[in-house]
Copies of this chain bind each other. A is one copy, B any other.
Amino acid sequence: MQELRERILADGEVIGSQVLKVDSFLNHQIDPVFVMRMGQEIASRFAGEGVTRILTVEASGIAVAMAVGLALNAPLVFAKKSRASTQNDSVYTADVYSFTRKEAVHITVSARYLGKDDVVLIVDDFLAHGEAMNGLVNIVHQAGAKLAGAGIIIEKRFQGGGDSLRAQGVRIESLAAITSMEPGKICFAE
């Protein structure tokens, strides 16, 4: 998506060789009109797949998932990062290591909102090493649901998570795929 690549080049901040901050429109401040356009683009790539649920993980994925859910007219479910005292029914769980926060988090989805009759589109803002995505794929399998694939805003392809998932047969659609980056320079896959 050309508009996204231009926005990343204009506003993105590369820290070291591994971290890309896009806090001005996606991860801290959110440009809602632009996020809607990106959600519509992801939705168009999975139109006709019969998606019944959008699955994401709190927090940055929620705005994108909201946009995709509106475009596909499907409810979204966000995995919660810790088990709150208000959540005590039957849940699917996975452990996810965050390279950004340098800690493992436990993510949970209530069995009420994901089941074997669902066709699930996973949506997230970033795909890097694939830790969060593997956890979400695992949860879809626990639910016995069908996985339509994953729609991602920015894939840091050089970190390998996307290719590993593609090798497992998961369809991954990224709106921008970064092949390498360093401060002042970001290279995209065509």
Contacts and interface: CB of A to CB of B under 8 A. Distances in A.
Nearest to A35: B66
Interface stretch (A1-9, A80-88, A138-146): A80-88
Contacts of A28: 77-78, 80, 87, 109-110, 113
Interface string A16-35: 00010101110011111101
Nearest to A102: B85
A59 B78 contact: yes
Interface in A103-139: 109-110, 112-113
Interface in A9-64: 15, 19, 21, 23-25, 28-33, 35-36, 58-59, 62-63
Given A84-B100, A85-B100, A100-B85, A29 B113 contact: yes
B75 A30 contact: yes
Say whether chain A's binding surface is mostly helix, strand, loop, or mixed: mixed
A102 B65 CA distance: 28
Contacts of A31: 75
Contacts of A73: 33
Contacts of A36: 70
A58 B66 CA distance: 14
Interface of A: 15, 19, 21, 23-25, 28-33, 35-36, 58-59, 62-63, 65-67, 69-70, 73-78, 80-82, 84-87, 100-102, 109-110, 112-113
Interchain residue pairs A-B with the least CB separation, the first 5: A58-B59, A32-B69, A59-B59, A29-B113, A62-B62
